[in-house]
Amino acid sequence: MTDLHPILPPEVASLQEALGLKFQDPSLLLTALKHPSVESASREEALAFKRLEFLGDAVWNFLVSRHLFLELKEAPQGELSLLKGHLSSATFLAKLAREIGLPKFLYLGKGEEQTGGRGKSSILSSAMEALIAALYLDRGLEAVSHVAQPHLEKVLMDQARREESLDPKSRLQILVQGRLKSLPAYHLTGRKGPPHHPSYEVEVLLQGKVLGKGTGKSLQEAEQKAAEEALRGFDA
């Protein structure tokens, strides 16, 4: 029987070793690696790349959503949306492409080679989406998950460390900016006690609505307590 699949060049075959997966249909991998800028690329090949890019975007968004849903069981929708936006961004996909060594395996046109195309996030993110689709079509969703899992877990661990190091006011600001594209405001509503031992009362508001209240021995402490209460409201 004649093998209809092309024989992969050695340098491209080594990408399979880096991924830890072997393609059943190597032509899918070749299509994902051949950027439309290649002079010899036919109209059909350019279209095939773009179609893979389209599918890869959808597959990746689903995979990221599933991973976040299963791993962050207590996270509110706002936090999940923030992380999903980061993990689905062109910046992150380009970073992922670099981490698996994808740039050196791409076929680019002379113009892109001369202008540093292998370092462009736009090209790398598109190629990463095409590769994701090729993996999905060849081996299924779990093959994509196999490649992505270590990178997604690292991001979540880094995020957890970062959140633990942030004070409530900073966490609230990040959450509100990501969800509502706005900033919380803190208003002093009361001050009690003698001058040498005062007690401050603060409200944190968003678009005129009170999110939380706090009391402290300093204005800063009261604001942090108000932010803590506001965060509990978001998580409820």
Among 57, 79, 201, 223, which one carries the catalytic annotation? 57
Write down the mean pLDDT value for the chain. 85
> CB–CB of 212/227 below 8 Å?
yes
Q: Give the pLDDT score at 1.
A: 36
- Per-residue model confidence (pLDDT) at position 162: 60
pLDDT tens per residue across span 159-201:
655 655 567 887 787 677 656 667 899 999 999 988 888 999 9
Under 8 Å between Cβ of 123 and 108: yes
CB atoms within 10 A of CB 142: 11
Domains and their CATH numbers in the chain: 10-165 (1.10.1520.10), 168-235 (3.30.160.20)
Q: Is 129 a catalytic residue?
A: yes
Point out the catalytic residue in the list 129, 138, 201, 203.
129
Burial 111-124 (b: 16+ CB within 10 A, else e): ebeeeebbeebebb
To the query of whether residue 142 is one of the catalytic residues in this protein, the response is no
Q: How far is CA 20 from CA 31, 70, 147, in A?
A: 19, 24, 8
